[in-house]
Amino acid sequence: MGNNKPSSLRFALLSGTGAFFAAVFFSSFSAILLPKLKILILSFIFLLSVVAVGIIFDMIGVATAVAKEKPFHAKATKKVRGANQSILLVRNADKVITFCSDVVGDICGTVSGALGAAIVFQVVAARPAWNEAILTMIMTGLVAGLTVGGKAGGKKTAINDSEQIVFFVGRALAWFETVTGLNVFSGNQRRGREKRR
């Protein structure tokens, strides 16, 4: 346990720092980009895409939390692509949940709020007679409704189909590792092998 505390603290610090800079970057990017988009529908598509990303990553976090290792061991024995990555996802569920639900989820929430404000600015600029305060309330409610409703439905799907979702992510990670040569769970994989011995 003593060796695990520094690792957990380091991961928490890295996650928090990464989330801060990523949120600042994407919020600034959206604030600069959206006012330049002349077609309002493109701004809404951008907003819906950010909300969808938050929902999808929340589903991955939940699926990883409830999935079991056992179904993937049979696949790993048969050397099915993505099986080992799936096992490591489940084994590192706490970090996966932090990254997917907290880091990515919070960034998407921050960015979607900034996008909503930018869209209101666009509408008011095109229709000065419209009440900005009312539009802001409507947009805030819309973003919140889409996010909360989407995550509620996503959680149910993630719980019911956790194995399929984790395996899909595992295969995506396997492809990523093959293409980039990077090993996402390099240290944890080594410890997992030591345990099995």
Domain boundaries, the chain: 4-196
Could you tell me if 139 and 46 are in contact, meaning their C-beta atoms sit under 8 angstroms apart? no
**Does the pLDDT at position 1 exceed 80?**
no
Average pLDDT over residues 29-49: 74
At 10, the pLDDT band (50, 70, 90 cuts) reads low
**Separation between Cα atoms, residue 132 and residue 141, nearest integer Å:** 14
Q: Which two tokens stand for residue 151?
A: 């995550």
At 33, the pLDDT band (50, 70, 90 cuts) reads low
Q: Per-residue pLDDT tens for 69-88?
A: 988 998 898 888 999 999 99
**Does the pLDDT at position 105 exceed 50?**
yes
Q: What mean pLDDT, rounded, does the chain reach?
A: 81
Could you tell me if 62 and 101 are in contact, meaning their C-beta atoms sit under 8 angstroms apart? yes
pLDDT at 122: 80
**Separation between Cα atoms, residue 115 and residue 33, nearest integer Å:** 10
Could you tell me if 35 and 121 are in contact, meaning their C-beta atoms sit under 8 angstroms apart? yes
